[in-house]
Homo-oligomer: A and B are copies of this chain.
Amino acid sequence: MSDIEMIRAARARIAGNLRRTPLLSAPALDAIAGRRVLLKAECLQVTGSFKARGGWSAVSAIAPEVRARGVIAFSSGNHAQGVAHAAREHGVPAVILMPQDAPKAKIDGTRALGAEVVLFDRERDDRDAMGAALAEERGLTLIKPFDDALVVAGQGTLGLELAEQANEHGVTSAEVLVCCGGGGLSSGVALALEAEAPGLRVRTCEPEGFDDVARSLAAGEIRRNDRLSGSICDAIVTPQPGNLTFPILRRLCGPGLAVSEDEVLRAMALAFRHLRVVIEPGGAVSLAAALFRPEALTGETAIAVATGGNVDAALYARALSTLE
């Protein structure tokens, strides 16, 4: 089980290897939201998402003689790059299983980080069996995307940074809006804030129609999504909250929020214009909630975590077309 000591230990392993991402703001966004909005620009993290934190935390914690044989992960996107980056920096091999219809940019990006990409057919192949066979054959260690205590601890390092930065900005009370898939980041940040900034409370944010976490929090037990495809926020669409993460979310987070795809695209465009950072759809759900769900929030300040910035140019251009 993850706890604050694991998060602090992860931070010590990460120190000097990843970025402390900035906390940004713009008067125009405050005006839209009707309250102060601070954006934790984690899209500027190495590899373009917070997944570099969890990847580093997990890879760096493996015993060196085991790690030397390599690591393996399943991912079509940000987790792939986070694990590949950590493996490369540790000088060990990474094998990433990706669906063959994954965006070319993400496959290329993962290969550019030195990983061996093994493509599978979503219809024909048994991904888990392929991964298990590879791991067995080569002695690879599996790095899970969120339901792993070391991964949660790595994502929690964002919360430690945020606690410091909120303090630097004079913020002692705020809701922290976190884009939420399986809950690895949300639960890690919630644990960090519980210890270091108890006036800051996590609210999970999801796309409408894929709000398994919000419904699970409301029900007090895990609920599944009816469907897993058809969202522009694919980076944060997962079947259900994790078995490890959900109890943490239930204990520490406020009610979940959900926003529409149109609101996500507008949030991306407003971040382009007023903050000059590139946010991917799954990473802009939090900013969309800060801007367009004022009635669901409380307090003078909302902190939105922009979790990633890996977005295809065509989809980004579509977001920009929402500007006047």
Contact = CB atoms under 8 A, between A and B. Distances in A.
Contact of A43 (B28, B43, B276): B276
Given A21-B22, A105-B273, A276-B278, 12 more contacts: A19-B22, A22-B44, A31-B112, A44-B277, A48-B276, A273-B313, A276-B309, A276-B310, A277-B278, A278-B278, A313-B323, A317-B317
A320 interface: yes
Nearest to A321: B313
Contacts of A279: 276
A272 interface: yes
Nearest to A269: B313
A186 to B, nearest CB: 21
Given A112-B27, A277-B44, A272 B313 contact: yes
Q: Name the residue in A21, A310, A316 with the highest tally of chain B Cβ atoms < 10 Å from its Cβ.
A: A316
Interface in A275-324: 275-279, 309-310, 313, 316-317, 320-321, 323
Contact of A112 (B28, B272, B278): B28
11 contacts: A24-B44, A28-B109, A272-B316, A273-B313, A276-B278, A276-B279, A313-B320, A313-B321, A313-B323, A316-B320, A317-B321
Contacts of A105: 273
A273 B280 CA distance: 11
A313 B310 CA distance: 18
Contact of A113 (B27, B273, B316): B27
A272 B268 CA distance: 13
Contacts of A24: 19, 44
A91 to B, nearest CB: 15
Contacts of A320: 313, 316-317
Interface string A95-114: 00000000001000100110
